[in-house]
Amino acid sequence: MYNVGLAGLTYWSPNVNIFRDPRWGRGQETPGEDPLLASKYASGYVKGLQETDGGDSNRLKVAACCKHYTAYDVDNWKGVERYSFNAVVTQQDMDDTYQPPFKSCVVDGNVASVMCSYNQVNGKPTCADPDLLSGVIRDCDSVDVLYKNQHYTKTPAEAAAISILAGLDLNCGSFLGQHTEEAVKSGLVNEAAIDKAISNNFLTLMRLGFFDGNPKNQIYGGLGPTDVCTSANQELAADAARQGIVLLKNTGCLPLSPKSIKTLAVIGPNANVTKTMIGNYEGTPCKYTTPLQGLAGTVSTTYLPGCSNVACAVADVAGATKLAATADVSVLVIGADQSIEAESRDRVDLHLPGQQQELVIQVAKAAKGPVLLVIMSGGGFDITFAKNDPKIAGILWVGYPGEAGGIAIADIIFGRYNPSGKLPMTWYPQSYVEKVPMTIMNMRPDKASGYPGRTYRFYTGETVYAFGDGLSYTKFSHTLVKAPSLVSLGLEENHVCRSSECQSLDAIGPHCENAVSGGGSAFEVHIKVRNGGDREGIHTVFLFTTPPAIHGSPRKHLVGFEKIRLGKREEAVVRFKVEICKDLSVVDEIGKRKIGLGKHLLHVGDLKHSLSIRI
């Protein structure tokens, strides 16, 4: 914390890059693969960091920094490094997929700074591109790579000058401090540009209160470590972990009844880990509860790591199968850690590391009772073998669940908490990455080349698990209460589409502002949600739309989502406001938003509703 000298007041967070490829080592830092989800997360995260309790929008609690701008999600894959990688991105994908979260950071979140990325985009370093930076960027982590790695400039002074002239205000390090003076003396950049950058930096310092006198007398001046590790905050850590756990498979074994279990075998390289649970860019934990500790707090357990680490070069199959053969239930806690996926470390395949798969298979064969698989990781794995194995009764993905991960895992397994997490990204089979180089940035499929596309919005192949998957211990159903079947867009008399057939219209203009009867640009969708089970549950309602097949439109895309808590046999109505030209539009080949004419399909779960948009 700043008050005790452990941190500053500028935070290089959040990471709002799209989790485009499952091998990316930093996918664990992001909110997932969907642009709308990432955008909502971005603005919410920024507001949470920056907004003060006093409500003054000119003040900052801390200064957030949305990163990494833009089209960055290759770190180090088969010798391709982020510093020299040129991301070739179409204008359509740029505006449709990569840019929305950063727009939300700036427009909706009013973020204090944005960090440009390490890579080039279409042949130009992001930290030297005025078309990307001007009016947006205030921060950079990689000015030096313009000179050192990308050889975009001949001298360090040129790198400093070109980045400042492009709109940069500072870099995360000492490079500009070392070389800007030489850039000015050489006439590469004038003092007015330096003054502008410094003014922007000092404005942030002023908003943070650096010139308001003794910081101890300011609103947050008395905070210290004891304010972090309160009982309430430790419970918040546990609840965040509970809400984030995703139940992917349940044959009916879960939740377990503690009374019926005399012995629980806990096996796996992540079963008793601590630091692994807090991922990367971590804070200082108050108190760890490992998965083993969490489970042992409820029933009698036996424990074997099975592998010395997650790399699992050698698995103790004999010891693990012996343990499982005598236990009423076996829990395998496997997956990854920062040695497998991390900054500057992308994966090359989607297999479980080393001998982990063999360990799981043999334990499942030998186990006396049902086997539960707990996967701790940032990215997904091809676990088709486990999904299809009848001896594996349940699968949970817990991400990197934080300091209280063991509490949350036990609460889910023993039914003290009803799981409600949903996958924020697609889990692909291994065959996908064997066909698709990580360096291809295109989102849309290409039938001619056999390229299958990326993310649930465009990918056309088989999945292991899909975006939004996640089971509950109860059953939710959806019923449509309200939604229009027809929307007529009124056009001006001289509009070209009055005299010719058009597949789409610009998603801006008078026809958007008066798109519904009685005037207005939006309509409402009401969905009745019913909990048909005998226990309380939390349910996330996803509203998707499938637009007409124009402009390489997505197979479907997310319009909105709402989380609702329902008691047993309880029901409630969830309301979505749908902005017609914003939420139902797609991006065309040149980056313009278009509203498709014809049939749009709205869907929530298995519920589908056709909506026709016409002129």
What's the pLDDT tens digit per position in 449-495?
999 999 999 998 999 999 999 999 999 999 999 999 999 998 888 88
**pLDDT score of 256:** 98
Both structure tokens of 188: 């590469």
> How far is Cα 524 from Cα 526, in angstroms, rounded to an integer?
6
**pLDDT score of 518:** 61
Q: How sure is the predictor about 500, in pLDDT bands with cuts at 50, 70 and 90?
A: confident
> How far is Cα 321 from Cα 312, in angstroms, rounded to an integer?
16
Phi then psi dihedrals of residue 450, to 5 deg: 85, 5
**pLDDT score of 269:** 98
CA dihedral for 336, 338, 341, 346, sign (positive or negative): negative
- pLDDT above 60: residue 423: yes
**pLDDT score of 499:** 77
What's the pLDDT tens digit per position in 90-99?
999 999 999 9
Whether the bond into 255 is cis, omega within 30 of 0: yes
User: Which domains does the chain possess?
Assistant: 2-217 (3.20.20.300), 230-421 (3.40.50.1700), 475-614 (2.60.40.10)
Say if residues 160 and 189 touch (Cβ distance below 8 Å). yes
Within 10 Å of residue 210's Cβ, how many Cβ atoms?
A: 12
Adjacent-strand bridge partners of 530: 477, 571
DSSP state, residue 465: B
What's the pLDDT tens digit per position in 266-291?
999 999 999 999 999 998 999 999 99
Alpha helix (H) residue ranges in 420-464: 430-435, 455-458
- pLDDT above 60: residue 233: yes
**pLDDT score of 173:** 85
Give me the residue label for tokens 């003290």.
416
Higher-pLDDT residue of 518 and 85 is 85
**pLDDT score of 132:** 85
> How far is Cα 179 from Cα 251, in angstroms, rounded to an integer?
63
Length of the chain: 615
Residue 601 parent element (H or E): strand 598-604
**Average pLDDT in the 238-263 region?**
97
What's the pLDDT tens digit per position in 537-568?
999 999 999 999 999 999 999 999 999 999 99
Secondary structure class of 42 (helix, strand, coil): helix
Percent of the chain with pLDDT over 70: 97
Higher-pLDDT residue of 228 and 4 is 228
What's the pLDDT tens digit per position in 525-545?
999 999 999 999 999 999 999
**Average pLDDT in the 312-339 region?**
98
For the chain, give me the number of helices (H) and strands (E)? 19, 25
**Average pLDDT in the 365-393 region?**
98
Say if residues 165 and 194 touch (Cβ distance below 8 Å). no
**Average pLDDT in the 381-405 region?**
98
Query: 148-162, 420-434, 493-507: lowest mean pLDDT where?
Result: 148-162
Query: 17-21, 142-146, 163-167, 532-536: lowest mean pLDDT where?
Result: 142-146
Q: CA nearest 12: which of 116, 154, 106, 135?
A: 116
Secondary structure class of 566 (helix, strand, coil): strand
Distances from the Cα of 196 to the Cαs of 141, 202, 524, in angstroms? 19, 10, 46
The set of catalytic residues is 139
- pLDDT above 60: residue 137: no
Average pLDDT value for the chain: 94
Within 10 Å of residue 252's Cβ, how many Cβ atoms?
A: 7
Both structure tokens of 561: 């989502």
Give me the residue label for tokens 């990455």.
433
Buried b or exposed e, range 212-232, using 16+ CB within 10 angstroms: eeebeeeebeeeeeeeeeeee
> How far is Cα 329 from Cα 323, in angstroms, rounded to an integer?
10
**pLDDT score of 2:** 81
- pLDDT above 80: residue 146: no
- pLDDT above 60: residue 138: no
Give me the residue label for tokens 């800007």.
180
- pLDDT above 60: residue 140: no
Both structure tokens of 166: 């492009």
Q: How sure is the predictor about 142, in pLDDT bands with cuts at 50, 70 and 90?
A: low
**pLDDT score of 139:** 53
Quote the pTM value.
0.95
Q: CA nearest 546: which of 606, 608, 504, 589?
A: 608
Q: How sure is the predictor about 147, in pLDDT bands with cuts at 50, 70 and 90?
A: low
**pLDDT score of 216:** 87
Say if residues 383 and 397 touch (Cβ distance below 8 Å). no
Q: How sure is the predictor about 517, in pLDDT bands with cuts at 50, 70 and 90?
A: low
The 557-566 sheet, strands edge to edge:
486-488, 607-614, 598-604, 537-546, 557-566
